[in-house]
Amino acid sequence: MRLQEIQRMAKVMGINPFRMKKTDLIQFIQKEENNIDCYGTERIAHCEEQGCLWRSDCLSLNGHEKPK
């Protein structure tokens, strides 16, 4: 997902995305949704969250799999 899309999503949620990096913004959104703020972390090596909105991007970020 592109940064601009994530920023729009954050604004709808009432989050000010100004000057936030993509990884930090996604982790903030994850926390706001009461999910584990694991995007871009080492947790990807054993992630079982198949329905995660960020999964394919996170996998490609960590070199585990290319986005589909």
**For the chain, first and last CA: distance in Å?**
12
At 68, the pLDDT band (50, 70, 90 cuts) reads very low
Report the C-alpha gap between 43 and 54 in whole angstroms. 13
The domain tally of the chain equals: 1
Domain that holds residue 42: 3-61
| Residue 48 maps to a domain | yes
- By residue count, the chain amounts to 68
Report the C-alpha gap between 16 and 25 in whole angstroms. 9
| Residue 66 maps to a domain | no
Asked if pLDDT for residue 67 goes beyond 90, the answer is no
pLDDT one-digit tens code per residue, 8-64? 999 999 999 999 999 999 999 999 999 999 999 988 888 889 999 999 999 888 676
Report the C-alpha gap between 3 and 21 in whole angstroms. 9
